[in-house]
Amino acid sequence: MKKVAIIGAGIAGIASAIRLAHQGNEVSVFEANAYPGGKLSSFELNGYRFDAGPSLFTLPHLVEELFTLVGKNPSEFFEYQRLEEICKYFWEDKTQLTAWSDLNKFAQEVEEITGESASKIIQFLKDSAFKYEVLDGLFLQDSLHKISTWTSKKALKGYLNLHKLGIFGTMNQANEQLFKNPKVVQIFNRYATYNGSDPYQTPATMNIIPHLEYNVGAFFPKKGMVDITNSLVKLAESIGVKFYFETRVEEIIIGNEEVKKLKVNKAEDILNTNVEPHTYNAVISNMDVTHTYRKLLPKEKHPDFLLNQPKSSSGVIFYWGIKQQFPQLGLHNILFSDNYRQEFKTMFDQKDIYSDPTIYINITSKHKADDAPEGCENWFVLINAPANAGQDWDKIIATLKQNVLAKINRILGVDISELIECEEILDPRTIESKTSSAQGALYGNSSNNRYAAFLRHANFSSKIKGLYFVGGSVHPGGGIPLALSSAKIMADLFK
């Protein structure tokens, strides 16, 4: 048995705690906030409940396997439902399209509304499934930093199909080659935002992402997205994991190139000491890898080449309590920009937000009625934004809000500003301060080049014994499924 400390109670930190405790280790999780989950948390405002961060749930088996791992029945702790309707799409010219979970129904809808052949939609999603099958075992389940990964049968399958994986062209190029209608290209280009990338730069390999929604399914936790966090925390506690909230880690103390101690600073004296080092055999950081090195390992050599890579996109979120219901909207809604290319150019080249941004609206009260007062809706309104580079965010947000309101008003034909009962705003600055995400980037390093998978830090330190890394800033990447995968990869390395 080893004495293990985990820094950060984000979803990867919680999953890591479960896996390591199941291996027989003594696990303590230190979280600077008063609540678990990191981005995957929630809050209430004037009778409205909001999931603070991730709003889409895919690959539920990655959550369920944590329960089965320790001999629990997942359905007794965590319930979810498959969505029949994945997303509703809206354009300025009044075109509307619903993405159904039934592939044939979705393909037929696309053909009827856009004229794009239904067979091409089916072909695209079959190709997406193929890419995922090849890449999942290689890139998403194993460490890229072990020779055994590259000499496995899974790697051989990847080598033989390299020309089919879209590594040498961009997502947009691949989608424009297949589809003639620009609206269909835009629908599938938007999946680049699922890891904070630009479809005009990120490799076509990222066309694996639609497979998760259409071929596997999109889901909704019956108690909201935060129930992923809450149910896993309860599971972790049931097998002996200790959580210490409002407990900020100040430093990872290294001796003889090995983890020795952890220095923590607490609001309450739970550990009977204050800012005194505590001895551990291993430390797993769920904190952004950049901040882990810069803030917690100031005396150690830093992998600056990886840490200085361009960051992924961030976001500006308006949480609005809306005193009206909109039957034309669903759980997930996209109001597209008329100039998608310029939107991404503005974000990644100019570090600004385009005047006609694409708007994502998530309304959980569509499926969980008590998330809003009767006759009302809780709107989570997300606009993709550049990472924080010192911009005048107050000015940007003021302009953005007016542009967002104007666009929603045009498309829905209603003055939304008069319906907003309450408001909370999250921007790259507050994302960074609340979740320790470098520059407020939602997915760590950008994936805007074909080598992006190799420009993420490993799930372990090759220089410091007993130091490991999990979460969206390291391999295999950001988002709930990949964060959970990072914990699994780390735990396998830990054995």
pLDDT in tens, 38-66: 999 999 999 999 999 999 999 999 999 99
Length of the chain counted residue by residue:
495
Q: Which tens digits make up the pLDDT trace of 286-344?
A: 999 999 999 999 999 999 999 999 999 999 999 999 999 999 999 999 999 999 999 99
Residue 453 confidence (pLDDT): 72
Q: Which tens digits make up the pLDDT trace of 158-188?
A: 666 666 677 789 999 999 999 999 999 999 9
- Check if the beta carbon of residue 155 is closer than 8 Å to that of residue 139: no
- Check if the beta carbon of residue 217 is closer than 8 Å to that of residue 100: no
Residue 449 confidence (pLDDT): 83
pLDDT over 90 at 139, yes or no: no
Count the Cβ atoms, other than its own, within 10 Å of residue 136.
16
Count the Cβ atoms, other than its own, within 10 Å of residue 394.
9
- Check if the beta carbon of residue 333 is closer than 8 Å to that of residue 90: yes
| pTM (2 d.p.) | 0.94
Compute the distance between CA of residue 333 and CA of residue 35 in angstroms, rounded to an integer: 29
pLDDT tier for residue 138 given thresholds of 50, 70 and 90: low
- Check if the beta carbon of residue 246 is closer than 8 Å to that of residue 267: yes
| pLDDT > 70: percent of the chain | 95
Compute the distance between CA of residue 11 and CA of residue 472 in angstroms, rounded to an integer: 10
Residue 160 confidence (pLDDT): 63
Q: Per-residue pLDDT averaged across 417-442, rounded?
A: 96
Compute the distance between CA of residue 120 and CA of residue 111 in angstroms, rounded to an integer: 9
Q: Which tens digits make up the pLDDT trace of 238-264?
A: 999 999 999 999 999 999 999 999 999
Residue 414 confidence (pLDDT): 95
Compute the distance between CA of residue 264 and CA of residue 277 in angstroms, rounded to an integer: 7
- Check if the beta carbon of residue 143 is closer than 8 Å to that of residue 458: yes
Residue 267 confidence (pLDDT): 53
Residue 162 confidence (pLDDT): 64
pLDDT over 80 at 399, yes or no: yes
pLDDT tier for residue 273 given thresholds of 50, 70 and 90: very low
Which domains, and CATH codes, for the chain?
Answer: 3-40+59-75+225-309+446-494 (3.50.50.60), 118-181+191-213 (no CATH)
The mean pLDDT of the chain is: 93
Q: Can you say how many angstroms the Cα of residue 329 is from the centroid of all Cα atoms in its chain?
A: 23
Angle made by CA atoms 60, 61, 64, in degrees to the nearest 5: 95
**Between 382 and 454, the higher pLDDT residue:** 382
